[in-house]
Amino acid sequence: MIEFRDRARGCLLGLAAGDALGRPAENLTPEEITRRWGRLTELEPGLDGGPAGTDDTEYAIFAASLLRAHGSALTSEDVVAAYREQILPIDGPMKGAGFSELGTVQALRRGLAPPLTGRWHAHGWSDGLAMRAAPYGIFAAGDPDEAARLAAVDGEVSHSGEGIHGGRAVAGAVAAAMTGATPAEVVAAGLAVVPADSWTARSVRAATAIAAGPRRRASEAGPEGHGLAGELHDAVVARHYPWTDLAPEAVALAFAAYVAGGGDVEESAVTAVSLGRDADTTAAIAGALAGAGRGEGGVPERWARAIGPVRGACLPSVAGRDVREVADALVGARTRVRNG
Amino acid sequence: MSSGDRRDRIRGAFTGLAIGDAAGWPAARHRWNLLAPWTRRLGRELDGFAEEHRVTTLPVPFALNQPVAALAVGPSDDAEWLAWTARTLGTDRRAAFEALGEDVRARISVRTALDNLARGVGPPASGHDNPHFFDDAAAVRAVAFGAAHPGEPDPASRAARADAEITNAEDGVHGAGAMAAAIAVAVAGAPAGDVVAAALAELPEGTAIRRAATLALALPGDAFALVPALDATLQDHVYSYGVAAAQTVAVALALTRASGGDLSRAVPAAACLASLADSAPALTGALTGAVTGWTGLPETWRERVRNLDGCCLPDLRGADLVAIADRLSGSGPAGTAHQEGLG
């Protein structure tokens, strides 16, 4: 029996490791990734020699801090206050931030309030909420509806439509994974908290159906004549859009990698990276799902050893925080709710 | 009002859109598509050259060993997509899109919708499962539906929204409804204020397009004076698509009101909004052209934009935009009037 705290640590370590693993492969094609690394299985050192996570880990810590401060009473106004305190004051470039984060910041500076802050910019469908939604699943473990509700409270500030659906799906799926559910049950839990008639649901259904087929690696040919990556790209990638940050696509690829990886942390994250696109985010999501299911011990020891305190490269306010300590704090916040 | 006046206003809507399309700087880029691909590749290299050598002499489209006519001022993508819509108005909209060839050039919303249709994903998902669901591709097409329903903003909007759902969703569909309703009342003789009101009635509260239109319409000043204020009010400059309906439709409405429906004041102002110059001038031109009427538009512009070049829809090369507009203003129901000219 894996303890709750162990799953929480596994979830965030899986997220951080997937983020760091995928960083050098972000926006590369599956073919280019295969050419450069074969299978990318080791965390590459960043500029300072340590393995570099990116915005995914730091913004997930930001989300966890919201839960620590407000618990299930979290409101969009609380989220706005945190943006004003921690993100708006960032001077100069917002490193690592996607268009949705900067668009949200500009909307807030303009004086808009949610939900219009998430609608005013054109990137409401970005995967920026999905990448940071795992803490809501940890906090509301076993209750996918509540996890999705909390993720949507956060997402209403920065996202709209499919971007919120993507965050809800990840939060709901993590909430299920935190109970030891099978990958199929986890995917079903994620789908259950988004409208069946949505881009996110259509993409997740299509991608996970492909991934549930005969197990194979990204470059190994399947029944359609090309590899898992090719089949998944045909099914869920918008060919004529130049960026890779669409939540329906990223969440679908991440869930597919997790299913294809059988819920194993290393296999899920490595598979996600092999699919290319927004590889740090997809591997972070796949790693979070698998880590919640397998616990801290399921995260490869060599990866866990390399994950230390974050540098605050994207979000200075979270510098020095370690995902293990963040996971423990989430457990504490949940315990307070249960006992209160 | 006489049917001659109505015909003049429908011509004005089509020609006004083409004038705005031609007046925005991106038209030259779109028209460059008529030249050989290697020309554009060299152009991309010149962009790098300008950067590397720190020269402010920015490259513009050029013709090397090729016919130069394509690079003259003229209509481009928006005029062609409007003409295509008018020509196919009696066709089932999904079938019309599915009949498009591989060689067309279109906005990201339309390209993605064509992929969705090919995958068996029809409307409204084809427009919804779409990264650029918010763009104004359908708002441009909506000018045809407005012209086909003179004085009937509701049926015009319904038809335009049904067409819009193939390629767009949410603000992209509302923008189409707004343009269709506005054009419907404009071609029936309504003044600029009523045209703007008809458009606003199509924009639901709580949407970005409603918010943007309301803010833009509240700005004081004449059309040219509005340029910096529109830029500051509508654009966050995080990512300027140039074709987001929330911004381009809002600009068109604000400049139509500020100019009193005078195309010669409104379109130049729209063209000055560099980051929105792909289609804000075209939408502005459609509204003010409909209010002004074709005979009131500058003759130099009327003649320059009359014949299409097929830079995005090759089948339209040489098509006469005024003749296409005239088919829409024939007597009888819209579904039959235009068919005289098909084929």
Across chain A, mean pLDDT equals: 93
The ranges assigned to domains in chain A are 4-42+51-339
Report CA B157 to chain centroid distance, whole Å.
Answer: 16
Identify the pLDDT of residue A336: 78
Other Cβ atoms closer than 10 A to A206: 18
Distances (CA, A) of A308 to A72, A282, A305, B93, B243: 28, 21, 8, 56, 44
Q: Is A131 helix (H, G, I), strand (E, B) or coil?
A: helix
Q: Is the peptide bond before B124 cis (omega within 30 degrees of 0)?
A: yes
Q: Which of B100, B238, B241 to mutate to test the interface with A (most CBs of A within 10 A)?
A: B238
Q: Token digits for A186?
A: 């986890």
Query: Given CB atoms, is B32 within the 8 Å cutoff of chain A?
Result: no
Given a contact cutoff of 8 angstroms between Cβ atoms, the answer to whether B16 and B260 are in contact is: no
Nearest by Cα to A285 from A325, A235, A251: A251
pLDDT tops 70 at residue A221: no
CA distance B149 to B13: 13
pLDDT attached to residue B338: 42
pLDDT tens-digit map of B132-168:
999 999 999 999 999 999 999 999 999 999 999 999 9
**How many angstroms away from the CA of B336 is the closest CA of chain A?**
35
Q: How confident is the model at residue A217 (pLDDT cuts 50, 70, 90)?
A: low
Number of helices and strands in chain B (H, E):
19, 0
- A295 pLDDT band (50/70/90 cuts)? very high
Instruction: Using an 8 Å CB-CB cutoff, list chain A residues near B244.
Output: 122
Query: The CATH number of A4-42+51-339 is which of 3.40.50.2300, 1.10.4080.10, 1.25.10.10, 2.60.40.420?
Result: 1.10.4080.10
- Decide which of 3.30.300.30, 1.10.4080.10, 1.20.120.1690, 3.40.50.800 is the CATH code for B3-21+78-329: 1.10.4080.10
- The minimal CB distance from B236 to the residues A121, A161, A203 is found for A121
Question: For chain B, which residues make up each domain, given as ranges?
Answer: 3-21+78-329
For the segment B330-335, the average pLDDT, to the nearest whole number, is 47
Residue that is written with structure tokens 């807030």 in the block: A108
Query: What is the arithmetic mean of pLDDT over A232-244?
Result: 93
Instruction: Name the minimum distance, in Å, from the CA of A115 to any CA of chain B.
Output: 8
Cis peptide before A316 (omega within 30 of 0): no
pLDDT value of position A1: 65
Q: Are residues A121 and B239, on separate chains, in Cβ contact within 8 Å?
A: yes
Residues A285/A134, Cβ–Cβ less than 8 Å: yes
Distances (CA, A) of A328 to A57, A333, A335: 16, 9, 11
Residue B249 has pLDDT above 50, yes or no: yes
| pLDDT recorded at residue A113 | 95
Instruction: Please answer whether residues B64 and B39 qualify as being in contact, where contact means their C-beta atoms are separated by less than 8 angstroms.
Output: yes
What are the pLDDT digits (tens) for B273-282?
999 999 999 9
Non-local CB neighbours of A292 within 8 Å, separated by 6+ positions: A7, A8, A10, A11, A14, A134, A137, A138, A174, A177, A178
Per-residue tokens: A306: 């390399």
A residues 103-122 near B, CB within 8 Å? 103, 106-107, 110, 115-116, 119-122
Nearest CB to A122: which of B112, B206, B239? B239
Mean pLDDT of A45-62: 81
Contact B26, B278 (CB under 8 A): yes
Tokens 């003044």 sit on residue: B191
Does A51 sit behind a cis peptide bond, omega within 30 degrees of 0 on the bond before it? no
**Rounded Cα distance, A104 and A102, in Å:** 5
Chain A with chain B: Cβ pairs closer than 8 A: 56
Contact between B255 and B226 (Cβ < 8 Å): yes
Residues 79-138 of chain B whose Cβ lies under 8 A from any Cβ of chain A:
108, 111-112, 115, 121, 125, 128-132, 134
* pLDDT at residue B334 tops 70: no
The whole-number pLDDT of residue A51 equals 65
Select the more confidently predicted residue: A6 or A314. A6
Residue B339 in this model has a pLDDT that exceeds 60: no
- Residue A223's pLDDT is 53
Neighbours of B243 (CB within 10 A): 26
**Cα–Cα distance between A185 and A192 in angstroms, integer?**
10
CB-CB under 8 Å, B132 with A161:
no
Residue whose pair of structure tokens reads 């038209």 in the numeric block: B27
Q: Which of A92-106, A118-132, A158-172, B251-265 has the lowest mean pLDDT?
A: A92-106
Lowest average pLDDT, out of A272-281, B209-218, B220-229, B234-243, goes to B234-243
Cβ within 8 Å, pair A122-B241: yes
Backbone angles phi, psi at A227, to 5 degrees: -70, 175
Residue B130's pLDDT band (cuts 50, 70, 90): very high
Q: Return the pLDDT at B3.
A: 79
